[in-house]
């Protein structure tokens, strides 16, 4: 029998893990930033114990790495980029093409709103807002992928491209590339062109990979 106190502890840890994971996806931790147990506990209003347990899970999942000062995003290599974008090209154009029939009018409005928010964030120089809106755009369509296994695969590697997003989406030129690519994808979706949307996604991924590799070279 599971004790009630233990169940509450497990639930709190799961909640904290979920909040930290969602925060990472929204760009809440930059590649040059360090998160500490104390700061996270204060931010979430909980004790350090569930924070420590949730961070251990994030380390196990490869989403953060421990340092002497706290926790930060893992470093990204050229091989990581090649592997992830190979997987994205295999899955995402097909997933987008098959999701088009499952996008409701509300979903399409959410996509347009997320794109508009990226445009506004780009104009205002709001990197954090841009990353958050970019993540919202992604969630709006990936949540409608009918094939649950494909959706789970994309959801899994989404956690591992957090550092990639932070590295590339902080660059204004890359933001322009992303806005143009997502705009073309959304136009094809609104026109009901499943094949055209998939092709637009392929072009978008190619441009995004090139921008990321350029950012890595400049960082080296």
Asked if pLDDT for residue 43 goes beyond 60, the answer is yes
Across 49-74, average pLDDT: 85
Q: Which of 47, 72, 97 is the last residue of a domain?
A: 72
**Confidence class for position 14, pLDDT limits 50, 70, 90:** confident
In the prediction, which pLDDT does 3 show?
Answer: 37
Identify whether residues 25 and 67 lie together within a single domain.
yes
Same domain, 84 and 143: yes
* 210 and 175 in a common domain: yes
Burial of 215 (C-beta count, 10 Å sphere; 0-12/13-18/19+): buried
Domain boundary among 41, 72, 103: 72
* Residues 106 and 181 reside in one and the same domain: yes
Percent of the chain with pLDDT over 70: 91
Looking up residue 28, the CATH number of its domain turns out to be 1.10.10.10
96 and 123 in a single domain? The answer is yes
Is residue 143 exposed (0-12), middle (13-18) or buried (19+ Cβ within 10 Å)?
middle
Q: Are residues 9 and 58 both part of a single domain?
A: yes
Distance of CA 3 to the CA centre of its chain: 36
Of 72, 98, 126, the residue that ends a domain is: 72
What was the pLDDT predicted at 2? 31
What is the pLDDT averaged over residues 152-166? 78
**What pLDDT does 5 receive?**
47
The answer to whether residues 108 and 193 belong to one domain is yes
Same domain assignment for residues 26 and 116: no
The tally of domains found in the chain comes to: 2
Residues 212 and 32: their CA atoms lie apart, in Å, by 17
| DSSP per residue, 113-167 | HHHHHHHHHHHHT-HHHHHHHHHHHHHHHHTT-S-HHHHHHHHHHHGGGHHHHHH
188 and 101, same domain (yes or no)? yes
What's the average model confidence in pLDDT over 86-93?
Answer: 95
Pair (50, 97) in one structural domain: no
Domain with residue 145: its CATH number is 1.20.120.530
Domain co-membership, 62 together with 90: no
Q: Which domain holds residue 34?
A: 4-72
Q: Do residues 131 and 179 lie in contact, with contact meaning Cβ atoms separated by under 8 Å?
A: no
């Amino acid at each position: 029998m599971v004790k009630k106190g233990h169940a509450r502890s497990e639930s709190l840890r799961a909640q904290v893990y979920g909040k930290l994971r969602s925060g990472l996806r929204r760009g809440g931790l930059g590649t040059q930033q360090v998160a500490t147990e104390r700061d996270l506990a204060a931010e979430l209003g909980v004790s350090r114990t569930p924070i420590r347990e949730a961070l251990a899970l994030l380390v196990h999942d490869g989403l953060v790495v421990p340092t002497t000062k706290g926790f930060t995003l893992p470093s990204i290599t050229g091989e990581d980029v090649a592997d992830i974008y190979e997987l994205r090209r295999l899955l995402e154009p097909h997933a987008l093409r098959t999701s088009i029939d499952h996008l409701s009018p509300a979903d399409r409005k959410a996509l347009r709103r997320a794109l508009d928010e990226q445009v506004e964030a780009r104009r205002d120089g709001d990197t954090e807002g841009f990353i958050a809106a970019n993540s919202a755009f992604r969630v709006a369509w990936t949540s409608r992928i009918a094939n649950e296994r494909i959706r789970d695969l994309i959801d899994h590697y989404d956690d591992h491209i957090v550092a990639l997003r932070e590295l590339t989406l902080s660059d204004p030129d890359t933001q322009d590339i992303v806005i143009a690519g997502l705009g073309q994808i959304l136009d094809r979706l609104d026109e009901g062109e499943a094949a055209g949307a998939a092709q637009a996604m392929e072009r978008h991924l190619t441009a995004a990979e090139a921008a990321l590799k350029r950012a890595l070279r400049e960082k080296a």
